[in-house]
Homo-oligomer: A and B are copies of this chain.
Amino acid sequence: MDSRVFNQGEKLNIAEPLQRAIEEFSKFPGIGRKTAQRLSLFLLKTNEDSFNNFINSMVDLKKKLTFCSRCYNISEDELCEICRSPKREKTTICVVEEASDIIAIERTNEYMGMYHVLGGVLSPLSGMTHDRLKIKELLTRLKDENIEEIILALNPDTEGDATTLYLLNLLKPLGIRVTRIARGLPIGGDLEFADEATIGRALTGRIQL
């Protein structure tokens, strides 16, 4: 066998269109190079119809959707379905980080109030200062709407907690009831495998039966 078969060869590049598709997929959050490659190859192999469905639904996503001008939820119109619905309770606002949190809360079917999407949490190191969040817009809503309770439903991490505290300091003086969603053991969770911080919070937040 010719020894050249296993010699160091010149760097053979991946076909340029594939290379570019992999790079585009790699830009998505949580998608690494290998996953990006897998997604690109899958797309390359799908039939014409499936491919066109994919592209059309992406274009529609971008063209047809915008953000609600009141609560910044994802919406097809100026106001989102929730803001427009006569069935929602208008006196409660649940403040969340991202529109995806609304989807998560809506899935529970337990909340019938309004929302307000901050668009992030305070994180000065990554440039998320209070003026980049929709806090001013929230304060304007408190003036214009008849709000009785603000539920802070930010993620239970350092940045979420810092933002909760920041909002609490802003909202408390306005005489509105401010609450925060509970922390504790997740349903179906196992005490034995829960982390110390969660167990600690579950103990502090115990309720009388």
Q: Which chain A residues have a beta carbon within 8 Å of chain B's beta carbons?
A: 1-2, 4-18, 20-21, 23-24, 27-31, 35, 37-44, 50-51, 53-55, 57-62, 64-65, 74-76, 80-82, 85, 87-89, 91-92, 98-100, 103, 106, 109-113, 148-149
Asked whether A57 lies within 8 Å of B1 as measured between CB atoms, the reply is no
Looking at the complex, which one of B58, B85, B99 makes contact with A41 (CB distance below 8 Å)? Answer: B99
Please state if A40 and B61 are interface contacts (CB–CB under 8 Å): yes
Q: Are B109 and A9 in contact (CB under 8 A)?
A: yes
Decide yes or no: A103 and B14 within 8 Å by CB, A51-B62, A57-B24 being known contacts: yes
Q: Which of B40, B92, B100 contacts A37 (CB 8 A)?
A: B100
Bound: A28/B76 CA distance, A = 26
| B44 and A61 contacting across the interface, CB-CB below 8 Å | yes
Known pairs A9-B112, A41-B98, A55-B59; list 11 more (Cβ under 8 Å). A1-B91, A6-B111, A17-B57, A18-B61, A18-B74, A21-B61, A28-B39, A30-B38, A31-B39, A37-B103, A55-B58
Contacts of A60 in B (CB 8 A): 17, 20-21
Question: Are A17 and B65 in contact (CB-based, < 8 A)?
Answer: yes
* A114 to B31 alpha-carbon distance, docked (Å): 31
- B16:A89 contact, CB within 8 angstroms: no
Judging by beta carbons under 8 Å apart, are A61 and B43 in contact?
A: yes
A6 and B28 CA atoms in complex are apart in Å by 35
Write the chain B residue with the least CB distance to A89: B5
Cβ of A92 and Cβ of B5 under 8 Å apart?
yes
A186, chain B: closest CB distance, angstroms = 16
The reply to whether A24 and B54 contact each other, CB–CB distance below 8 Å, is: yes
Task: Using A42-B28, A61-B43, A92-B1 as known contacts, say yes or no to A75 and B112 having CB atoms under 8 A apart.
Answer: no
